[in-house]
Structure 1
Amino acid sequence: MKLSVLVLLLALMQVSAASVAQKISLKKSNVPLTEALSAISAQSGYSVLYDEDLLRNAEKVSLNLKNATLQEALNLCFGRQPFTYTINKRSILITPKPVSVTVKAPAAPVQLSGKVTDEKGGPIPGATVKLKTGNVSTSTDSNGEYKITIPDEQGAILVFSYIGFETKEIEVNGQLTIDVSLKEALSNLDEVVVVGYGAQKKATITGSISTVKSDELTQAPVANVTNALAGRLPGLISQQSSGQPGYDAASLSIRGFGGALVIIDGVESNINNIDANQIESISILKDAAAAIYGARAGNGVILITTKRGVLTKPVFTLTSSYTLQGITSMIKPVSAGQYAEMSREAWLQSGQPEANAPFTTEQIAKYYAGNDPDYPNTNWYDVLIRDWAPQTQNNLSVRGGSDNIRYYGFIGYTNQQSMWKNNGGNYNRYNLQSNIDAKISDDLSLQLDLSSVVESRNFPNRPQNAGGNTVWQDFWNTLPIYPAELPDPTKISFANGGGTGGAHVTSNSEIFGYDKLGSQNLKGTLNLNYKIPVVEGLSAKLLLNYLQDYSNNKNFNKPVNFYTYDNQSQMYTLAGSLGSLAALAITNSRNQVLTGQGSIAYDRTFNDHHIQGLALYELINYSSDYSIAGRSNFLTPAIDQLFAGNAAYQTANGAAAETGRKSYVGRINYAYKGKYLLEATLRADASAKFPKDKQWGYFPGVSVGWRLSEEQFMSSTRGFMDDLKIRASFGKSGNDGVGNFQYLSGYQYGGSYLIGNNPQQGLSSTGLANPNLTWETIKIYNAGFDASFWDRKLYGTFDVFYRERSGIPASRVNSLPSTFGSGLPPENLNSLNNRGFDLKLGTAGKKGEFSWDVSANISWARAKWMHYEEPEYEDPDQRRLSKLSGRWTDVAFGYVTDGLFTSMEEIAALGFNQDGQANISLRPGDIKYVDVNKDGILNYKDQVEIGKGTVPQWMGGFNLMLKYADFDMGALLQGAFGYYTYITLQHGLTPPVQSYDLRWTEANNDANALVPRLGGASTNGLPSEYYYKEAGYIRLKSFSIGYTLPAQLLQKISFKQLRVFFAGTNLLTFDKLKKYGADPEAPTGNLGFYYPQQRTLSFGLNASF
């Protein structure tokens, strides 16, 4: 091999030399130099380049190395040889040793000093400064400064390194002060990723794990962190179905499996009340990586790690934002004139006599005019709902530490106001956290984490969730033909309201009463870590956690009277009332969780072999209790305390429960030469819900990985390939989500019975026992790859999975006599499977002052029933429509339509009986159905598949993070496809504007009108594709732009950083539902009957000092 060729190869090598300090363990005795170099190359991953003629007469060498550096190994090989070496990138070049002409006396030790900073001049505390040859090293202090004494400056090279930055080498060359600026590293192979009960380097992970960092989560202020996750992580399905303050969490499902287990700092916790600014990173475990959590991990695991202290002087960070919340999309009620017109139209088109019509044409004209006080035109949307509601978030954190103690403290406050104008409620939250890491001795360390969340929700005493019997039903029953206010402001206007008086009553807590929910979460975790000195690599850990949730719910009902007002007589008339006397109910509840973990861990390298092991015992105790007390018939609603109620009308109740979980966990990780990877786990869980012989469930997991990029035969790709890893896994988990003690026969409190003249408390049977009920079993298979090229100029990950869920509890479908007295008990009967894939592609880089990280991800998942306990259907159409076994779980059936009828002639020529009455009820404007099976009648046999389910099959995201000089910009596009929603524009007593604008009329005789004729045939309400609409969308989920003031300016005011920003969420949506006034994430079938999603605009600042 010619030297010129070698030099050319070296010039093409672009891989970082960050692993110069690779440890070498080797034992060779009197072997050729080439054999020794080959062994060193295999362990270090470095290529050795040389001229064969040069080494032809090399002396043999003997080596006995244990955890030696690469330089130490090479120095021993070349100590007596007439050659020397040079390391360039990931190659070792061997050249003749220069002839020495003079011999100098040993030089005196030299002390060097300096400062290590980032590209902006900020200090990097904890950076490693090491002499390239030998074992001399030190670390920078909190100011980024260092001092190091080297034995000889002649030819000495200092190596500067820190996680997340590129390693840099500097020749001493007579310098006594060496200041170094490190560049941010683009490769993330050394990044540490949190996994179950530990952490691993990203390069050696064999499971399907996706991670998101703090800077992405905090692009735009969000009250609930779940709303910052949508579209960011492949495999995570997110749907936000409400915008109500304090209840606006998005549902999270990993690969469509259902609700995932959430672990925060090692302990099961609530994701909905943590502030995004507290979080360091979030990882989701999607395959066998989740099996280590056993029975709780059947639907995957979300791991959240909060921020911790670092080696630096105290740094305070203030984040403050002011946000305006506005509705993304909401249908609005018609005006008084439109209401009157549609009411008359519906009456006449239903065949009723004109003489009895609810409104005359003259009255309709007066309502449209709106200038007659007897014919008011009230826009209840404008009266009750504000365009923008404020939200504020402020938090302050401190972070710092020394070699022996590091700390992180956080205090945050969030306030969300309701969109209702008058006393419509609010949500407040305080987050407190303290994380302390202390080094007690060289072998013993401690972590103490304390946190608290205090929440208060204060809303009117009427539910605001989706569905009927809520304030939304009241909203649509509040008629625009009634005035919003009466001349006497102390009297409440009657607006019909369908018996509730209207939303102007039930949305106002001062009038209707309130529902106040206060809660406090307390969590404390103590971690003790001990390195066992007698065995290298062996350590022990003890974790103790106490978690308590306490809540107090105070529900106060106020009586309300409604009045009408006669403008001529100026008299008020009592038109209705809600309640006669006030009532109060108070509920206190408490949940406690005690967690204990004891573990032994082992981490050791033997030559080419890296072994890690974990053995853990976990014990969790759950306890809960609640009590409720209430009184009614208050003399006055001015006093909202129990003592003010009538003791003759009081109630009280309460209950308590306790259960537990015991588990054993084992894990082994093995890596050979850093390229052949294996992980095996086993967890045993015991559940008190099953009989003794079935209490234990055993959940193994295994995964393998192969880093092809580290193979010698791939050496030609090292100039452009950072990493290429293929992996596969299998995991088994379980589920004990059944009622307690169903294997036992028992009794429960029933109702009261009158025996003689005395009421007696009754008991009833809990039903038949099933001693065979046991764990539900979940198996998941996964295969995928990770790849990175050109220093992450291109990177990606891909996974494909298949999941089997068997033993799902269900009761057998058997006919029992009515005198039997009980149903059949649940058994492990049903089974389900899921399949799908996740894909993520991205590019990251830096050029001058411009840096970028752009990525896109897409996921697909679908489930099918393998077996569903159900009756045997003899009718083939019943079997086709109702049999679930062997069917996808998200198939929707309904009738096929062919627009609307436009003439009586079209109805007469229909050719089949659509309404079951020889079509006598049909008129133009009614829905025209299709007789699919051509049997001459429309019935259930004509139903076919008209769409998919209401949960997206496809989820995707496009994440953009750009930075130029002091400017930064972030954007996230989120998309969801492959799902449907049920849209109907016929609401309560008041129709929406869309119903007026889009309806069929004689003047608008359009077969494609989106709303059938008012007062139409009963067949218009059949489930059909007319109402079942595809809901796929692409949404600008978040956008932010910020500016960081220059460091030179900040130094004058003692600030380390000051950034101002503008951000927004849910800014734009592209979908097919705009014409209906619907948001694509609206809960299906509840258009207008839920608290709408919110668009936010935020202004804020981040300051560090």
Structure 2
Amino acid sequence: MELFLQPQPNLVKRSLMAYSPILALLLFSGTSFATKHKEVVSSAQSISVISKATTPVKGIVKDISGVAIPGVSVRVKGSKTGAVTDATGAYRLDLPKGDETLVFTSVGLKTQEVEVKGRSEINLTMEDDVSALNEVVVVGYAQQKKINLTGAVAVIDMKAIEDLPVGSLSAALVSQQPGVGVSGGTSRPGDNASITIRNPILLSKDGGSLRPLYVIDNVIRTEDDFNVLDVSEVENISILKDAAAAIYGARGAYGVVVVTTKRGKTGTPRFSYSTSYGTSDAKLPTMMNGYELATYTNDYNFLAGKKATDNNSVIYTQDELDYFKTHSQDWLSDAWKASTVSRHVMNVSGGTEKATYFAGITYNNQNGNFDKIDFNRWTFRASTDVKVSSNVRVGLGLSGDLSEKKRYLLKQGGSDNEKDYKSLIYAAPFRPAYVDGLPLNTTGGGSTSENFHFFEAQKSNNYLLAKNNGLNINAYIEYDIPFIKGLKAKATYNRTFDNNFGKEFGTKYTLYNFNMLGTNKHIYGGGVKSTTSISNSNRIYFAPNYSDVYQLNGYLNYDRTFGKHTISAIALFEQSETYSDGITSYLDNLVDGAQDNAGYALGGTASGAGVGTISESESESGRLSFAGRVNYTYAGKYLAEFAIRRDASTNFAPENRWGTFPSLSVGWVISEEPFFKNNVRFVDFLKLRLSGGLTGMDNTRAYNWLKSYNLIQTGNGPVFGGNLDRAGIFRLKNAIPNPDVQWDSDTKLNAGIDANFLNNRLSLGLDAFYDHRYNMLVTLASSVPLSVGATLPSENFATIDGFGTEISLGWASKINKDWSYKVRGFFSWSDNKQIKVDYDKGLTGTYLDPTGKSTDMGFLGLRSAGMIRTQADLDALLAKYPNYTIYGTKPAVGMLYYEDIRGAKSTTANPDGSYSYAEPDGKIDDNDRQYLTNKKDNHYGFGMNFTTSYKRLSFSLAMGGSFGGQDILESGARGWGTSAQVTAITNLPSILTDHWTPENPNAKYPAPNYRGQNNLDSDFWFVSSFQMSIRTLNVSYELPANLLRKLNVNGARVYLTSTNPLNLYNPYTYKQYSGSYDVYPVLRSFSIGLNLNL
């Protein structure tokens, strides 16, 4: 596309008039001049006006791998004449005849100047500025060049994530930067991922989260607002990990994710369309078949003393076992299917020097791996920027989203979101879902999650619906103050409206009870005996919610260079208010045949009266802030930044509402020093950074400083006259208020090194951080008398120090003119130390005392001594420990046994206030637990990003992993854990077929009947916690330009993308590594896509 400065016929005439005094002097001096594209060219000749003819020059701009580069600015040096390359990297300019010089610039690439020398075609290969030192990075309320950064700021490579088939933007950031953790987002349709930065610690009791602050176009937004963004509408993402977050004050302690969305750029209209379609699936856990589960059940009952000859025997006889060898149903596999995901994106942008525009719309669709699960989302964004005058610029942005998530309702036994998956994986495979086409009623009816019938509930047209509609309006006006060079004033206003609607509709369905076949009546297949009506909540429920948020900002920005001194500064005011109102209502005991409409879904009870309720929840809050920041650079080598923010929040009492959050950071570019530059030639760039500052976190429930009560209506109230039916209303105190409550505070320190070596091919980043978190809000464990009738208030009490390191190392090289590659690896480690925390003082000085230790003290459990495999093993154990018991149970053959570490804890403290334990007492109980490992969670993380391009073909992958902790076989994989599971005979992982019996004394796992003992955590059940997997993979191919020109297409690219394609290490033989076996698995997705630029 082209950007033309059109010829202006009256230009010379106006120029002569404007400069007439000067021209008069020139006439008398004998000097002549000519105008050349707004330039005055003087000579010692007679006066003449030269009108130059123009000649076109065109070309294509590519990178070192031969890929066309759109958006490159091409301008005539010393002139405003210029153009911007289109999607195919092509440009065209009309130039005066003569020797012109073209200047090619693009962010992240080295600026190049090329002399025209009469040529009509100039093609150029632009080299990466490998160090990306001139890359513009978005920080709090401003932008800075990366070379000038003094804080720990991570930048996401948007090109690396542009094709990923994810429904949540957070999920696209996995394995992209050290110290940035991403969980979730690649399982159920519509579920969002979550980000954490540098493993923060949360002690607040009031529902606060570990999530960072999200800022989109300088407006503080929610995590949901961030996840709704499509990659196509995002210009860049920066993550503030250290004291750089102090500019956000009382909400910056957990880091800040800063996003800039795309705006219009000058040039002719550019239209792009992208589409992709993919499929998602997962390897399902290997569970027992019908014969294996029946055999396991027999072994459980035989070892418990049951016999096949007992009345109503639970023992499966041989004829029944033989039947189940060929009659087994895998409920989960029958319900599971590969799901699909599709995405469509359309964007258009363009404009002139006076006005630019951008508009985009995105549609995402995901269906589930079970039928009747569907998620749809539309997002749109439009913006325009207008230069009203030479000093005034205004802009308006409009964005929004509309989403709908619908799935079947499974309400029996509670509202567990995993109930569908759990019910299917737990279903006993010797029980068919249908007998002669009729749905089978499993054991005990439908009151628990183990017993209801998934397929019938799914077919009943009961559903759970969530609709979300959001609208965001953002406007600004910017003024360049003419009488102070470098000073700008700006005002912005943002308004966000969200309307959410939730609905549940549940009725009843009918199951059938059959006469049983087989010796002990365990085979389903006799005639119908009776029917059972199962209630799937039998309710219609509505939950509309509305929220309205505004943010008003005023800015003063100053940016000037004085010789070797560069100063930039910002002062701002920020005010925001949030209001929300929600209603929940429902109608119970729907009549048979009820419809999903409150007007027709009549409720009834035995007495015929409808049962329903309605409630409302309303809240509002506000914040007021003042902030400022000053950046100073001297000669490009000495850097300093100071920032401060003053915050007020209505979460706290008026006298504690305000807080001040300062930060200071400095940097030294050693490589710019003459003594270094002239002597250490293999180092191209070296910068040292140091930062410190105070941030906060006000993630607490509002109004802790006020008294609050619940009104309870119950029983019969006071009797006045003949009124005997008045219910009593009581005021119940919730908690004792604390007017001194404030935000958590976090003093952040960070030291870092940025370096490039060997002609910028090798890059290094190193950071070490220390966070002193204090005044953390907790509720102390101390008790209060029951007569008080309330719990203790929250207090700013706890102190925890966090620390860690992050290292990244990259290499970029070009094998030849067609082939290049980049590889970048990173490593991170973090931990913490509890300085002051609330705990039971009876643990002082014991191994359970947390003071001075990490919040992750390791894996707490029993030290296994092995398995009692034979009677001889048991006799030897009892000979050594005659009174040996395991939580009150005498040892038996087939049971695990443990080391006796210590006896009971003393009831009185030692002189130093600590407590001690008695010598081992031959009894295994909680006193014998110990921390079996240094860590439970993985505290070391690593990752790698690799990209290579050969001509028009490119390939990239992101890999990640972690280690340092300890995993354990989940309790459900050790056997039945509850009596309800025994009664329902829930299915189990197939690994448990190798369990101890008298016929199999060398089994891997203990006997199944010692249910309580098998659920004890011990190192017997340990599994490696090492993780390593390829998180994303992408292969793309750009179609040849000569082919596209015939189709009038500027650019086209096809790509194949995958998320979670390969797990490189999995110690589990029966399930995938991530997550428990009985929850919805992480999906492996493959998508094929097409991108067109017109």
**TM-score after normalising by structure 2:** 0.84
> For residues 474 and 1023 of structure 2, what CA distance do their matches in structure 1 show?
49
Q: Distance in 2 between matches of 1:882 and 1:905?
A: 40
Alignment of 1:545-556 (within 5 A): 545-556=494-505
Aligned partner of 2:145 among 173, 178, 201: 201
| One-letter amino acid of the counterpart of residue 1053, structure 2 | R
Q: Which amino acid aligns with 1:932?
A: I
Separation in 2, partners of 1:951, 1:308:
42
2:73 pairs with 1:127: yes
**Could you list the per-position Cα deviations for residues 567-612 of structure 1 after superposition, in whole angstroms to 9, with x for gaps in the alignment?**
9997423353322993201110112211110110100011111001
Letter in structure 1 aligned against 2:280: Q
- Paired position in structure 1 for 2:82: 139
Q: CA–CA distance in 1 between the matches of 2:989 and 2:856? A: 35
2:561 and 2:445 mapped to 1: Cα distance? Answer: 74
Distance (Å, rounded) in 1 between the aligned partners of 2:965 and 2:69: 51
CA apart distance, 1:226: 1.9
Counterpart amino acid of residue 866 in structure 2? G
Deviation by residue 1:111-166 (Cα, 9 ceiling, x = unmatched): 675235302696866625354xxx5553226773334559x85xx75544443443
Q: What residue number does 1:413 align with?
A: 363
Match of 1:341, SS?
helix
* Equivalent in the alignment of 1:1006: 1002
Q: Are 1:515 and 2:477 counterparts?
A: no
CA spacing shift, 1:1034–1:669, aligned 2, 3 Å:
same
Deviates more, 1:857-866 or 1:744-753: 744-753
Cα separation, 1, equivalents of 2:805 and 2:691: 14
Question: Matched residues in 1 for 2:1068 and 2:843: separation?
Answer: 43
Q: Distance in 2 between matches of 1:915 and 1:313?
A: 85
Deviates more, 1:848-857 or 1:393-402: 393-402
Q: CA deviation at 1:1069?
A: 1.1
Structure-to-structure mapping, 1:184-583, within 5 angstroms: 184-187=127-130, 188-240=132-184, 243-257=187-201, 258-267=210-219, 268-269=221-222, 270-327=225-282, 329-356=283-310, 357-370=313-326, 376-386=327-337, 388-420=338-370, 422-423=371-372, 425-462=373-410, 470-488=419-437, 491=439, 494=442, 499-500=447-448, 502=451, 504-505=453-454, 508-511=457-460, 513-566=462-515, 571-579=527-535, 582-583=538-539
Q: Does 1:845 align with 2:813?
A: yes
Secondary structure in structure 1 of the residue aligned to 2:309: helix
2:625 maps to 1:663? yes
Pairwise CA RMSD: 3.0
- For residue 612 of structure 2, the aligned residue among 634, 646, 650 is 650
Mean Cα deviation higher: 832-841 or 909-918: 909-918
Query: How far does residue 731 in structure 1 lie from its aligned partner after superposition?
Result: 1.5
Deviations 1:43-92 (A, max 9, x none): xxxxxxxxxxxxxxxxxxxxxxxxxxxxxxxxxxxxxxxxxxxxxxxxxx
In structure 2, what is the Cα distance between the partners aligned to 1:461 and 1:330? 23
Residue 10 (structure 1) aligns with? none
- Between 1:898-907 and 1:1016-1025, the stretch displaced more is 1016-1025
- In structure 2, the gaps of 5 or more residues are 1-43, 202-209, 518-524, 604-609, 720-724, 903-919
Aligned residue identity for 1:824: L
Equivalents in 2 of 1:579, 1:854: separation in Å? 57
Identify the range of structure 1 (856-865 vs 795-804) with the bigger mean alpha-carbon deviation.
Answer: 856-865
What amino acid maps onto 2:485 in structure 1?
E
User: Hey, what does 2:122 align to over in structure 1?
Assistant: 179
Query: Contact (CA 8 Å) 1:492, 1:561: kept in 2 or not?
Result: no
1:961 paired residue number:
947
The CA deviation at 1:507 is 8.0
In structure 1, what residue type is equivalent to 2:823?
A: V
Q: What are the within-5 Å matches in structure 2 for residues 27-106 of structure 1? A: none
Aligned to 1:81: none
What letter is aligned with 2:1086? L
Q: Distance in 1 between matches of 2:307 and 2:72?
A: 88
User: Could you tell me how far apart the structure 2 residues matched to 1:956 and 1:104 are?
Assistant: 71
Distance change in 2, residues 1:466/1:216 (3 Å): farther
Residue 553 to residue 411, structure 1, CA distance change in 2 (3 Å): same
In the other structure, the counterpart of 2:583 is 627
Do 1:478 and 1:503's aligned partners in 2 also have CA atoms closer than 8 Å? no
Aligned with residue 117 of structure 1, among 60, 63, 87: 60
- The structure-2 alpha-carbon separation of the partners of 1:512 and 1:997, relative to structure 1 and needing over 3 Å to count, comes to farther
Matches of 2:424 and 2:893 in 1, distance apart?
Answer: 31
1:1052 equivalent to 2:1046? Answer: yes
One-letter amino acid of the counterpart of residue 759, structure 1: A
* Residue-by-residue CA offset, 1:269-296 (whole Å, 9 max, x unaligned): 3222222232222211000111101111
Deviation at 1:822, TM superposition (A): 2.4
Structure-2 separation of matches of 1:158 and 1:321: 38
Do 1:471 and 1:507's aligned partners in 2 also have CA atoms closer than 8 Å?
no
Q: Distance in 1 between matches of 2:837 and 2:1002?
A: 44
Q: Which moved more, 1:978-987 or 1:453-462?
A: 978-987
Q: Is the 8 A contact 1:479 1:495 kept in 2?
A: no
Residue deviations 1:203-232, cap 9 Å, x none?
101110111122111243212222221111
Per-residue CA deviations over 1:328-347 (Å, capped at 9, x if unaligned) read x4424322211211111100
SS in 2 for 1:381: helix
Kindly state the Cα deviation for residue 862 of structure 1 after the two structures are TM-superposed: 1.1
Query: Distance in 2 between the 1:742 and 1:412 partners?
Result: 42
Per-residue deviation, residues 378-430 of structure 1 (Å, max 9, x unmatched): 221222222x211112222223222222222221111111112x43x121111
Deviation track 1:310-359 (CA, whole Å, cap 9, x = no partner) reads 223222222211211111x4424322211211111100112333423423
Mean Cα displacement is larger for which, 645-654 or 858-867?
645-654
Corresponding position of 1:916: 885
> Quick check: 1:1100 aligned with 2:1089?
yes
State the TM-score, normalized to the length of structure 1: 0.83
State the shift of 1:767 in Å.
2.8
- Measure, in 1, the Cα distance between the counterparts of 2:544 and 2:124: 58
Shift of 1:770: 1.9
Moved more, 604-613 or 840-849: 840-849
Q: Assess, with a 3 A threshold, how the Cα gap between structure 1 residues 949 and 476 changes in structure 2: closer, same or farther.
A: farther
- How do 1:696-715 residues align onto structure 2 when only pairs under 5 Å count? 696-715=658-677
Tell me how far apart the structure 2 counterparts of residues 339 and 526 of structure 1 sit (CA, whole Å).
65
Unmatched tracts of structure 1, length 5 or more = 1-102, 371-375
C-alpha distance 309-475 of structure 1, shift in aligned 2 (>3 A): same
Q: Which residue type is aligned with residue 474 of structure 1? A: S
Contact 1:463 1:469 in 2 (8 A): no
CA distance in 2, matches of 1:688, 1:735: 13
Residue 925 of structure 1 corresponds to 894
CA deviations 1:660-714 (Å, max 9, x no partner) are 0100010000000111000100001001222222110100011101111111112
**1:211–1:283 contact (8 Å) kept in structure 2:** yes
**Matched residues in 1 for 2:84 and 2:957: separation?**
36
The one-letter code matched in structure 1 to 2:856 is T
CA contact (8 A) 1:477 1:496 kept: no
Aligned counterparts of 2:779 and 2:453: Cα–Cα separation in 1: 47
2:703 maps to which residue?
A: 741
Identity of aligned residues (%): 25
Cα shift at 1:178: 6.3
Comparing 1049-1058 and 506-515, the one that deviates more: 506-515
**Is the alpha carbon distance of 1:405 and 1:496 closer, same or farther for their aligned partners in structure 2, counting shifts above 3 Å?**
farther
